[in-house]
Amino acid sequence: MNKLLVFYGSYRADRMGIRLAHYMVRRFSERGSDVELIDAQAVGLPMLDRMYKEYAPGKAPPAMEALARKIVAAEAFLFVAGEYNWGMQPGLKNLTDHFREEWFWRPAALATYSAGRLAGARASYAWHPTLAEMGMVAVPSTIGVGQVSAALDVEGLPTGSGGEALDKAFDKFAAVLDWWADAAVEQTARKGPPY
């Protein structure tokens, strides 16, 4: 049972990507993962001032401390990322920038979405090098959901042809992330991280 954190970072009142985040939480927990949604808006970190590691031990704000512990304990990460002006959503980027070493040595997958047909492909492009720079292994299997409000209902259940395509893509996507999570767990137990 892999410990998976699902990150989502829109702060908009009428946000749509939360549907995909709920879908991912449900599907991964049905597969047997121990999964938790990390909703950046609910966590409510401020605009980046000090990173977690820049606080003296025990002095970070409680929400940051709690999240740092969850990130360190996780075995895999999933970023549910929308696209704003061909780039990343600031709420999700702001949350990730608070941490660094806490992300190391685990795999991360990307599930992007958008209102249009391109499914957040440009946000996926933007996130890949960033996840790698933050010390994660960005896995090669990705999911993209176009016309997100038609593909998922308010509960995150798949609808129409978009929902069908998402369901079809999910199993392989999840299997790849699980495989890398298992690999990281085993290698960490066998050898530990190189530094």
Ligand X SMILES: Cc1cc2nc3c(=O)[nH]c(=O)nc-3n(C[C@H](O)[C@H](O)[C@H](O)COP(=O)(O)O)c2cc1C
Residue 13 found at the interface with ligand X (CB under 6 A): no
Size of the site for ligand X (CB under 6 A): 15
Could you tell me the smallest distance in angstroms from the CB atom of residue 164 to ligand X? 20
Q: Which residue in 86, 133, 179, 186 binds ligand X (CB under 6 A)?
A: 86
Comparison of 29 and 147: residue with beta carbon closer to ligand X? 147
Under 8 Å between Cβ of 143 and 111: yes
Location of structure tokens 């009142």: 13
Comparison of 12 and 53: residue with beta carbon closer to ligand X? 12
Could you tell me the smallest distance in angstroms from the CB atom of residue 64 to ligand X? 23
Q: Which residue in 55, 84, 104, 125 binds ligand X (CB under 6 A)?
A: 84
187: number of CA atoms within 13 Å, CB side? Answer: 12
Comparison of 11 and 104: residue with beta carbon closer to ligand X? 11
Q: Which residue in 25, 67, 82, 163 binds ligand X (CB under 6 A)?
A: 82
Question: Which residues form the interface with ligand X (CB under 6 A)?
Answer: 10, 12, 15-17, 82-86, 114-116, 118, 148
